[in-house]
Structure 1
Amino acid sequence: MSNGWAIVTGGARRLGKSIALELASAGYDLIIHYNSSHAEAEATCAEIQALGREAWAYSADLRDVAAIEAMFAAIETRCGTLAVLVNSAADFPRTPVGSVRIEEWDSLMAINQRAPFFCAQAAATLMAEHGVIVNIADVGGEVPWPSFVPYGMTKAAIIMMTRGLALALAPKIRVGAVGPGVALLPDGWHEDSNALNKIPLKRLGVPEDIAKAVRFIVEAPYFTGETIFVDGGRRWA
């Protein structure tokens, strides 16, 4: 028996894929949103189907609000209702102050900040009682990183958006957020031993750590409006 349909934006690969597989294990059927990772999205759907759940992939550029609206219209047509939205899609560019171009700024704000809000707004119209929205924030939304100031701004906005949506959508829909620490290094990066030494638990996180926190929020009926930071204690070190 299915617990309903869940959509994970950026669900084809990396952290989004881990979240999608965790939700499938929890009994949800999945919509895997992707932008250009078609092969990875289909492979993720196949893994979900192997777990006995339904899955289908949908491509959309979330920088385009019209594309977001079209995606949720397609979900309504195919699925009817939606149980869970996980806003996972995001960019993480290094943007040292003094070198930021307006094109980079607009693109980052569109995918990291504007898209999650419009996805949440559209998803809420498809949710019955007990719908859940989970936003992927970041430790960088609270801890300033000099080379990633615009990125940190977008994640700080996600934390505040989570609080505001939790109030606006209660009691029908719960809204929470997960703030990862170093859980999955960007493509092309190598493990930073200095960063590792600053983590009290003395290990980097793995995507499954974040996915389990997402599942907790989805399954915790009295949880709303809060952000869970999953960083091995790094914020306090």
Structure 2
Amino acid sequence: MERISRNDRPCWVLVGGRRRLGRALAEDLARDHDLVLTSSEPWGGEAWMEALSKTAGIRTLVWNAESPELSSRIMADLEGLKAEGWVISGAVLLAGTFPEQPLGAWTPALLEATWRLNLSFPFLGAQALAPHLTDGACLQLLLDTSIHHPWLKRLPYSAAKAGLAALVPGLAQLLAPKVRVVGHALGAILPAEGSDEAFLAGRTLLKRLGDPADLCRAVRYAADSPFLTGEIMTLDGGRRWVDR
């Protein structure tokens, strides 16, 4: 059972809880949770955030993967939350990019930038969050179906997600029995602008794209399943079972 934090509601941290899937998850969870949302840029003046704050306790933080003070910033913010009485019973690491980087275009700088946000940042975030999660908490990481079939035009990104896939069972062992760890390998949910959505939907067994609500249900399921840890759940509409 989740421990209650401020306002008699459980509190979760959403790392990358500002855009796209992060925002959708924040809007869903705010119905019955207080939230700490992080972004790489300063917050302010967003109507959807103001609407959430009318019903939920919301704290916004800036965690920029490019900052050399990232680790110290995260640790200081988490200590500050603890001092204010926030009890963190769940965390979801959503931050990432989806760059197209075909063979021949790779450079040390491009690879470092891709891996910094998609691999190093989640590793550092998980490490900092772990000691601040209460007993029974669930730490969840967003992966990609590229862990099953690498994206040939996005191999550096696919390699980063494969690294995160290894983090899930590893962290589950390191943090047990206090904290559970679950991953989500996502298919086409909110595809990139310009994508052929009809083609993507046709390449699934269910003949449809995913919806942010599919992720929200999966995240809640993992949080409410006290015997689930070290596993990666795939939400791709059966895409990996369709001939490529």
Q: TM-score, normalised by structure 2?
A: 0.89
Deviations 1:26-72 (A, max 9, x none): x22111101127347x444323223x210021112124463243134
Between stretches 192-201 and 122-131, larger displacement belongs to: 192-201
In structure 2, the partner of 1:75 is 78
**How far 1:235 sits from its partner (Å)?**
0.7
1:17-32 matched pairs, under 5 angstroms: 17-25=23-31, 27-32=32-37
8 Å contact from structure 2 (residues 142, 183) kept in 1? yes
Whether 1:55 aligns to 2:66 is no
| Structure 2 residues not aligned, in runs of 5+ | 1-6
Equivalent residue for 2:222, pick from 201, 217, 220:
217
In structure 1, the partner of 2:212 is 207
8 Å contact from structure 2 (residues 11, 34) kept in 1? yes
In structure 2, the partner of 1:181 is 187
CA distance in 1 between partners of 2:163 and 2:81 (Å): 32
1:1-237 matched pairs, under 5 angstroms: 2-25=8-31, 27-36=32-41, 38-39=43-44, 42-50=46-54, 52-64=55-67, 66-79=69-82, 80=85, 81-186=87-192, 188-237=193-242
| Structure 1 residues not aligned, in runs of 5+ | none
Percent identical residues: 29
Paired residue total:
233
Between stretches 161-170 and 99-108, larger displacement belongs to: 99-108
Give the secondary structure class of the aligned counterpart of 2:205. Answer: coil
Give the secondary structure class of the aligned counterpart of 1:125. Answer: helix
CA distance in 2 between partners of 1:148 and 1:71 (Å): 29
**How far 1:6 sits from its partner (Å)?**
1.1
**How far 1:154 sits from its partner (Å)?**
0.8
